[in-house]
Amino acid sequence: MRIEVLGSGCAKCKLLAERAEEAANNLGLAFTLVKVTDYPDIVARGVMSTPGLVVDGVVKSQGHVPSVAALQDILR
Amino acid sequence: MADWLAFRVLGLQPGSRLGEAVAFFAYDGPKVLLLLGLVVLGVSFVQTFISPERTRDLLAQRTGAWSNLLAALLGIATPFCSCSAVPLFIGFVRVGVPLGATFSFLVSAPMVNEVALFLLLSLFGWRITLVYAMTGVAVAFLSGWVIGKLRMESHLEPWVMEIPFEPSVATAGPSGLSARLAVSAEAARDILAKVGIYILVGIAVGAFLHGYVPAEFMVRFMGKSAWWSVPLAVLIGVPLYANAAGIIPIVQVLLAKGAALGTTLAFMMAVTGLSLPESVILRKVMRPTLLAIFLGVVAVGIVLVGFLFNVLM
């Protein structure tokens, strides 16, 4: 599973990356987590409000940081 | 309570400069923070129902002056963080939102935001709030309209229109009551932690002004008779960066000390609406000419608002 966290490096983006990692670990998933920080790359994924979460190429959340529990639902 | 802290506990003299400053600080700090926490909680909850994607889609089919007005109004309610100004800008422009309307949104969103309006309302009453909201929307509307008329599309950085782009749909927000509540509670906590410092610094500056700067000084430099104070206030305010919550304690003191309403409003708009960090971010999507025109047009609009209110009130 490829988890991408989109954002130019604001505090919320870091928080999302931490939580996504925690959620994926809780589920025992095999995953790689990538931080996408360049604007062209963020825009190319169709995300307008950061932080954004993209899982295997699909935008799962944007503009807010879901809780770890909500992230587990997303990743499951 | 605040008087008790300043005059009894710290043993400062009532009427002394430091004493009055501390009393002011102790009274305003908790009040403003509590108010802000409640406001952000409520507003963030409502905002989980509004997304920039929906705003974008509403604007995409419009043209002409209406698109600017609608963009300026939607800017009030749409959640916006200057850290995502670039992806938002591109997202708007690429789905066909007119460039002018995009600018109207970009001006109105940080300047006339809901947090600013609620704080203004609770501290200064509905008249000043209404004046601020209406003139803020007017500045956003007009500056976007002017930029639209100037046809500046060719002054965007080429990559903005060239990179592969796929518009996202507005389905990725929080859904379900508990998720919405969790997001709002976190937003309130976040803003308090981040903005709390700002507010405290703002109140400290305010308290200093309150305790140390004589009212005659303020009337002379920021009063109605000093016409040049409006452009000066804007010039000082533009590079400064503070969000609306941080600037309000300072505004409170300026008004109480006899600064003219127009001058004070202009200062607040310049600080919240335009900033150096945001300009640096926006430079990535637009060429210097367009950035300069954007800053210039908005600054002129704000100065006009300041003059207008100093003449009217």
Which CATH number does the domain housing residue A11 bear?
3.40.30.10
pLDDT band at B147 (very low <50, low <70, confident <90, very high): very high
Q: How many domains would you assign to chain A?
A: 1
Q: Exposed, middle or buried by CB within 10 Å (0-12, 13-18, 19+), for B31? A: middle
> Which phi and psi (to 5°) does residue A5 adopt?
-105, 120
pLDDT band at B180 (very low <50, low <70, confident <90, very high): confident
Q: Which residue has the tokens 């010039």?
A: B235
Q: Over the stretch A14-47, which tens digit does the pLDDT of each residue have?
A: 889 999 999 999 999 899 999 998 888 888 888 8
A52-55 and A32-36 beta bridge pairing: unpaired
C-alpha span between B158 and B263 (Å, rounded): 39
pLDDT of residue B301: 92
pLDDT exceeds cutoff 80 at B132:
yes
pLDDT exceeds cutoff 90 at B100:
yes
- What average pLDDT does this structure show over B276-283? 86
pLDDT of residue B133: 92
To 5 degrees, how large is the angle CA A50–CA B186–CA B200?
100
Across the interface, whether the CB atoms of A62 and B172 are under 8 A apart is answered: yes
Residue of A nearest to B90 (CA): A43
pLDDT band at A53 (very low <50, low <70, confident <90, very high): very high
Largest Cα–Cα distance of chain B, in whole Å?
A: 67
A13 in active site: yes
Mean of pLDDT over chain B: 81
- What average pLDDT does this structure show over B17-44? 73
pLDDT of residue B29: 65
pLDDT exceeds cutoff 70 at B1:
no
- The closest alpha carbon to B189, from A40, A11, A44, belongs to A11
Residue of B nearest to A38 (CA): B87
User: For B26-40, B64-78, B90-104, which range has the lowest pLDDT when averaged over its residues?
Assistant: B26-40
The first and second tokens of residue B9, run together, are 């506990």
pLDDT band at B8 (very low <50, low <70, confident <90, very high): low
Alpha-carbon distances of A11 from A50, B21, B153, B182, B275, rounded to whole Å: 11, 34, 32, 18, 20
Q: Over the stretch B248-258, which tens digit does the pLDDT of each residue have?
A: 777 877 887 77
The first and second tokens of residue B217, run together, are 């000084």
Q: Which residue has the tokens 């990743």?
A: A75
Q: What is the pTM of this model?
A: 0.83
pLDDT exceeds cutoff 70 at B295:
yes
A32-36 and A2-6 beta bridge pairing: parallel
C-alpha span between B106 and B136 (Å, rounded): 12
Alpha-carbon distances of A51 from A16, A17, B42, rounded to whole Å: 7, 9, 22
Report percent pLDDT > 70 for chain B.
83
pLDDT band at B149 (very low <50, low <70, confident <90, very high): very high
Across the interface, whether the CB atoms of A10 and B48 are under 8 A apart is answered: no
Kindly report whether the peptide bond that precedes residue B110 is cis, defined as omega within 30 degrees of 0. no
- What average pLDDT does this structure show over B37-47? 84
More confident residue, B303 or B125: B303
Residue of A nearest to B284 (CA): A39
pLDDT exceeds cutoff 90 at B288:
yes
Domain carrying residue A6: 2-75
Cα A41 from chain centroid? Answer: 14
Q: Exposed, middle or buried by CB within 10 Å (0-12, 13-18, 19+), for A56? A: exposed
The first and second tokens of residue B164, run together, are 């592969």
Which conformational region is residue B143 in: left (phi greater than 0), alpha (psi within -120 to 50 degrees), or beta?
A: alpha
A26 in active site: no
ipTM value: 0.86
Report whether B209 contacts B254 (CB < 8 A). yes
Q: Over the stretch B202-245, which tens digit does the pLDDT of each residue have?
A: 777 777 777 777 767 767 777 777 788 899 888 888 877 766 76
Among the listed residues A3, A5, A13, A47, the single catalytic one is A13
More confident residue, A23 or B122: A23
- Which residue type, as a one-letter code, is found at position B232? L
Kindly report whether the peptide bond that precedes residue A51 is cis, defined as omega within 30 degrees of 0. yes
DSSP 8-state symbol, B84:
G
Report whether B271 contacts B223 (CB < 8 A). no
Question: Across the interface, which of B91, B165, B174 has its CB nearest the CB of A64?
Answer: B174
Instruction: List, in sequence order, every residue forming a beta bridge with A6; answer none if it has no partner.
Output: A36, A52
